[in-house]
């Protein structure tokens, strides 16, 4: 008994201390979170910060060799029939990895049908192109090389041109060491996709806000976020890149483009386009599938009318535009390669 | 007398020591240079290493603000009528600041008459363009913006486009603080010229050799240098950039271009072209005014036949090609600007 009572007396004291400490800690944590919260937690919780890297597919390991090769190929104009157009021509790193003109200008000055999407954070999308005709970056990568209005070169010829350079034999062999004949279209696509998966823009002001730095965005920007969530934008502009990679019918001013219908042939897909990412939207003007919308303010108004059937007030528009500007992240580092 | 003899005895001793030391020093220097020499001094002395910077004109100070603005403008596609062609399209940093195609491809895929010269080290030239229609980089800079087959935009429109961006108002004001209305064509030219004066490639293996590192180039490369000097190439390919910026008549295979005659109207200038720089010539293929010569070996043979009236042996060609490859220097550092 003595021993037990001794145990109880002396043995329980630490327990009491631990329990007290836990209670105090919990109280402090509660108080501190209540004190630190800015009143927007329920809206903030509807968003996700952007990870530093998107999902990496099991069949395309993101090795430094593939990324470096993809970097070279991204800037390689000799895989266009003119010899002067590369991926970087329309996905220009100086212009938010897009081109800031309404519709892409490609081979022989031809103007395409659609606005150039940025490649930034495209590894987070589960559908590529405005019409989702590719799902993965690997499927997407070769399209613009062959497109008559873009780089206008057959894959056979592109592969043959690359094969003329010793350095590409070396780099493809390093990037795809298990392939006997590594300079081929699949590997061009793999390398380009790998490079693009490194082109992410984490640590925007909004990301810092989501991670706890409640002063990283202003009160107006928070109101914009709230309205963005409240009025339903976040239903489609969801996930880390603020896109669900799904397709929705929309006819923006000046567009008669049938969109996703041209891929699926389904009536329901007439005029349907992929939800575009809103990451870095402040850098990737002009907007919409036809690039006819010049400012973010107009874009917000059009989306309100077309997708949500509502007219935003000018204050609401200003708040949401302010919010959208917080989505500009840190530009990725890359090298202008020395091409052979 | 005593005093004088004392003076002579004691006063002359230091002189004797100094004279002896000088003689010994001279002997040592002679011995050391004779010992260190590789037998090519008389040829080596006909060349000049490339300075880190070219001459800076009195009326265009090379301020960081002008260089930074010039860097932006060099990559700015909105001063082309398509909105996608910038200086960097043809003067591509990934391709030795040239394009590696025979003749430049510009607006609407039009193909120009001439091969794109590299902008590297162009601040060392006293004539610009193949035909010298501009003397300075300032005079040169605006030509490609207006040329119908290049960027195809009037200067008025280019200036108006730049004026649409707040950041250009700020940057022009910083670069040209004394101008009331600094966004103008002259200042675009000044900024572009300033940026280009920073695009130099010092410290090639040949430069290190000229500065005393006698092992920086191989015996074969030295033989090439010797033959380059001996057979007369160095008469025109002279000075730090290996060009005299003068004009010589030459009709290379496939060219009917009248060259300098189109500028001066002088019969003596028919088919005359500027001596091109040989700095980084290993990177700036293809060669000649029409870009029809693919390899350095062919270029050496053609120049021997056309300019010097001689047939080089295959060993001579190989030696000179090896020498020419020693002229590839360190690529300049620059930033891909974040454009507005």
Helix axes A185-196, A155-162, angle to 10 degrees: 80
> Domains in chain A and their CATH numbers?
41-52+201-325 (1.10.760.10), 64-196 (1.10.760.10)
> Judging by DSSP bridges, how do beta strands B247-249 and A247-249 pair with one another?
unpaired
pLDDT (tens digit per residue) in A51-61: 999 999 999 99
- Nearest C-alpha in B relative to A83: B101
Q: Are B99 and A108 within 8 A, CB to CB?
A: no
B337 in A contact zone (CB under 8 Å): yes
Q: What is the pTM of this model?
A: 0.84
Measured distance CA(A254)–CA(A7) in Å, rounded: 83
Q: Tens-digit pLDDT profile for chain B (340 aa)?
A: 334 444 444 444 556 565 566 666 665 555 555 456 899 999 999 999 999 999 999 999 999 999 999 999 999 999 999 999 999 999 999 999 999 999 999 999 999 999 999 999 999 999 999 999 999 999 999 999 999 999 999 999 999 999 999 999 999 999 999 999 999 999 999 999 999 999 999 999 999 999 999 999 999 999 999 999 999 999 999 999 999 999 999 989 999 999 999 999 999 999 999 999 999 999 999 999 999 999 999 999 999 999 999 999 999 999 999 999 999 999 999 989 999 9
pLDDT for A22 equals 64
Percent of chain A with pLDDT over 90: 88
Q: Half-sphere exposure (CA, 13 Å, Cβ side) for A252?
A: 23
Measured distance CA(A18)–CA(A36) in Å, rounded: 26
Residue A192 has pLDDT above 50, yes or no: yes
**pLDDT grade, residue A6 (50/70/90)?**
very low
Helix axes A166-175, A185-196, angle to 10 degrees: 70
Contacts of A74 in chain B (CB under 8 A): none
Q: Mutation test of the interface with chain B: which of A75, A76, A91, A94, choosing the one with the most B Cβ atoms within 10 A?
A: A94
CA B256 vs CA B29, B249, B288, B294: distances in Å: 55, 12, 12, 18
Peptide bond into A286 cis (omega under 30): yes
Contact B339, B72 (CB under 8 A): yes
Mean pLDDT of A60-66: 97
Choose between A31 and A131: higher pLDDT.
A131
Mean pLDDT of A135-148: 95
pLDDT for B37 equals 87
Q: Are B101 and A83 within 8 A, CB to CB?
A: yes
Tokens 């497109």: give the residue: A147
Helix axes B314-325, B296-308, angle to 10 degrees: 110
3-class state of residue A157 by DSSP: helix
Question: Residue B240's closest CA among B192, B213, B207?
Answer: B207
Query: Among the listed ranges A82-96, A169-183, B13-27, B153-167, which one has the minimum average pLDDT value?
Result: B13-27
Measured distance CA(B118)–CA(A269) in Å, rounded: 49
Measured distance CA(A78)–CA(A282) in Å, rounded: 32
**pLDDT grade, residue A29 (50/70/90)?**
low
pLDDT for B10 equals 44
């Amino acid at each position: 008994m003595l021993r037990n009572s001794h145990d109880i007396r002396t043995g329980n004291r630490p327990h009491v201390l631990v329990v007290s400490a836990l209670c105090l800690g919990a109280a402090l944590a509660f108080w501190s979170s209540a004190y630190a919260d800015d009143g927007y937690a329920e809206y903030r919780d509807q968003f996700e910060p952007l990870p530093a890297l998107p999902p990496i597919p099991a069949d395309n390991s993101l090795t430094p060799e593939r990324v470096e090769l993809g970097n070279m190929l991204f800037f390689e104009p000799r895989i266009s029939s003119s010899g002067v157009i590369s991926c970087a021509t329309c996905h220009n790193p100086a212009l938010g990895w897009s081109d800031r003109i309404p519709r892409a200008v490609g081979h022989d000055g031809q103007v395409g049908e659609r606005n150039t999407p940025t490649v930034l954070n495209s590894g987070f999308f589960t559908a590529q192109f405005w019409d989702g005709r590719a799902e993965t970056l690997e499927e997407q990568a070769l399209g613009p090389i062959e497109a008559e209005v873009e780089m206008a070169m057959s894959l056979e010829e592109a592969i043959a041109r690359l094969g003329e350079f010793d350095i590409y034999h070396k780099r493809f062999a390093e990037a795809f060491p298990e392939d006997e004949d590594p300079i081929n279209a699949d590997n061009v696509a793999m390398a380009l996709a790998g490079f693009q998966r490194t082109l992410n823009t984490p640590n925007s002001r909004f990301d810092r806000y989501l991670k706890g730095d409640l002063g990283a965005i202003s009160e107006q920007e928070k109101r914009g976020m709230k309205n963005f969530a409240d009025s339903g934008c976040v239903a489609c502009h969801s996930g880390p890149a603020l896109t669900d990679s799904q397709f929705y019918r929309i006819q923006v001013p000046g567009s008669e483009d049938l969109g996703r219908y041209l891929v699926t042939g389904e009536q329901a897909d007439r005029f349907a386009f992929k939800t575009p990412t809103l990451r870095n939207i402040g850098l990737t003007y002009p907007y919409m599938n036809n690039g006819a919308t010049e400012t973010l303010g107009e874009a917000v108004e059009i989306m309100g009318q077309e997708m949500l059937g509502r007219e935003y007030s000018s204050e609401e528009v200003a708040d949401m535009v302010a919010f959208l500007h917080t989505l500009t992240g840190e530009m990725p580092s890359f090298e202008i390669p020395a091409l052979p």
